[in-house]
Each structure stands twice: as structure tokens, then as C-alpha cells.
Amino acid sequence: MTSAPEPLFGLEHIDWTALVDCRGDRGQIPILLRWLWGTSADLLDVTDNRGVRAIRDLEGRFVTSSDMLACYCIRAATPPAVPFLVRLAQDPRTLRRDLSLSLLLDIAVAVDAGPAGCWGQSWEEASALVRSAARGMARTRPDGWFALLEENPDRRVRGQILELLAIIHRSGLLDLLGRLWDSVLRATDAISMTERVICLAYATAEHPEYRDRMRQPWADMLQGWLRANDPAPRETAEAVSAALLHLPEWIDEETVRALRELVQEQLP
């Protein structure tokens, strides 16, 4: 029986020296991807200063953000790194699996926000890069996220996975509504059902036309809940109530009513 290929298979087939990252450098991304996998000579202990610096370095190379302008920017090296990050985040052999997922979600948030031109980058170039990153997320192992969702006991990780699935759908490159609805029906407890209902509603939230309209407050609430480490019961009740009002229109009112009763009866 042959073992599954390593997540970084094919890494050397890309000319990374031709792709600039968000720090303005070339050729650094594969070194840092190998560090995430944990099998290279560049292996560092995340508890020491070198490891902390490497984490910050990775975050700054894949996507950059401006708190002042509330926008995100990616460069040419980010989209080809997305499939590797997906495989790293899904593979249990990855040493820094949680960090791989976190970095991928940073990119997904930038995709969800829409393109923003960086210095020296046209709007058309920014749009193409965002679309390319979204394509990498949509076409790389979507089944793997649903499998992880079923097996992961960590609510925070499940929230990250659900937000990723919602963003993949919102990108318009892969229709996941049927599978997300199926995951709601397969939920085994109220918490899992709540998470998946919120994800389903966020996945259908109207995507803002690149920065020329405001996001709906209820969509921001749902996104915030998915990201929260330990949301309070009141926040959970508010988020799921908003989600139940914004489910796809093909879910009939009787089913929504039954969902509401199931959730409200079982949530603390």
C-alpha cells in the first residue's frame, strides 16, 4: 500500500524566484512552506525567537493588510502557494498544521474582501491575483474540509474550516450550498448544528461589489462568531437567530422553524 504524497509534492516545479511576495522578496515562500511541513533543514522551534520571527515572516509574505483602510493585498507568490497551504492544513503529518490553516484563512479573508491594489499594482492585476487565490482554494481538496469538520473536536478549528467553506462558496467558483446544508442535517448536537447554520447563512450573504457598498451587519456578526475562540451564550443566540433569518430561500419555513426549536431547546 503506497502512502499519500507529501503536501509539498510539486513545489520545485514552480519558479518561485520569478514571483514577488508581499515583502517584496522572491524565492522565500518555498523555504517557509517547508518549515510548515517540518521536514526541512530550516526547521525551527516555534517556542524560540527564530520560530516567532518565522511565523511573522510568513504572515507578512502571503497577505498584507491595512487597518487604516480596512483592505488586504496579495502579491504574485500568494496564489500558487494556496494549494500547498490547503494540503498542509489537511494533512495530519504536517508539523505546523494549525498555523497552515490560520495562514490560509488570512488569504481567504483577503479573497472575501475583494481586490485592493498595492503600490505598483493595477486594479486589474489585483483582481486577477484574488481570483487566482480563490481558484486555488476552490479546486484543491474541498472534500478534505468536510472530512476535517466531522472529526475535529476543537470548536475554534471547526469555525475556521466553516469560514473557509463559506468563503469558497462566496467566491463563486464552487457551489457548496447543497453540501453545507447536508452538513447541517448530519449535525449530531446543538453546537454543531449552530455552527453549520451560521456558516450556511454567511455563505449566502451578498458579496459586496469590490468596496463600493457596505457589508450587511448580520454578515459581519456571523463572520465574527465563526472566528471567536469562545463566544458567549448571548452572542451565540444572536448569531444563530440572525442566521436563521438569512438561510437560502429554498429551505422552507417549516424546516427553519424546526431548526430554531432544535437549537433553542438544546443550547445552554
CA–CA dist 184, 62 (Å, integer): 32
- Indicate whether 105 pLDDT > 50: yes
Comparing 31 with 167, the larger pLDDT belongs to 167
10 Å CB burial of residue 111 (0-12, 13-18, 19+) is: buried
- Indicate whether 207 pLDDT > 80: no
Sequential DSSP letters for 109-169: HHHHH-----TT--HHHHHHHHHHHHHHHHHS-HHHHHHHHHH---HHHHHHHHHHHHHHH
pLDDT of residue 60: 83
Amino acid identity for residue 31 in this structure: I
- Indicate whether 181 pLDDT > 60: yes
Calculate mean pLDDT across residues 142-160. Answer: 93
Three-state secondary-structure class, residue 252: coil
Rounded to 10 degrees, the C-alpha dihedral 107/109/113/115 comes to 0
Calculate mean pLDDT across residues 10-16. Answer: 94
Comparing 145 with 205, the larger pLDDT belongs to 145
Q: What would you report as the CA-atom Rg of the chain, rounded to the nearest whole angstrom? A: 19
CA–CA dist 125, 120 (Å, integer): 10
Q: Provide CB contacts within 8 A for 143, sequence distance 6+.
A: none
- Indicate whether 185 pLDDT > 60: yes
Q: Provide CB contacts within 8 A for 233, sequence distance 6+.
A: 267, 268
Mean pLDDT for the chain overall: 85
Comparing 146 with 113, the larger pLDDT belongs to 146
- Indicate whether 210 pLDDT > 50: no
Q: Using 50, 70 and 90 to split pLDDT, how confident is the model at 202?
A: very high
Comparing 135 with 67, the larger pLDDT belongs to 135
Task: Among 6-10, 31-35, 147-151, 173-177, name the one with the lowest average pLDDT.
Answer: 31-35
CA–CA dist 122, 9 (Å, integer): 32
pLDDT of residue 17: 94
Phi then psi for residue 39, to 5 deg, are -120, 15
Query: Please, are residues 196 and 163 in contact by the beta-carbon 8 Å criterion?
Result: no
Q: pTM for this structure?
A: 0.89
pLDDT of residue 49: 55
Query: Please, are residues 129 and 79 in contact by the beta-carbon 8 Å criterion?
Result: yes
- Indicate whether 1 pLDDT > 90: no
Comparing 197 with 41, the larger pLDDT belongs to 197
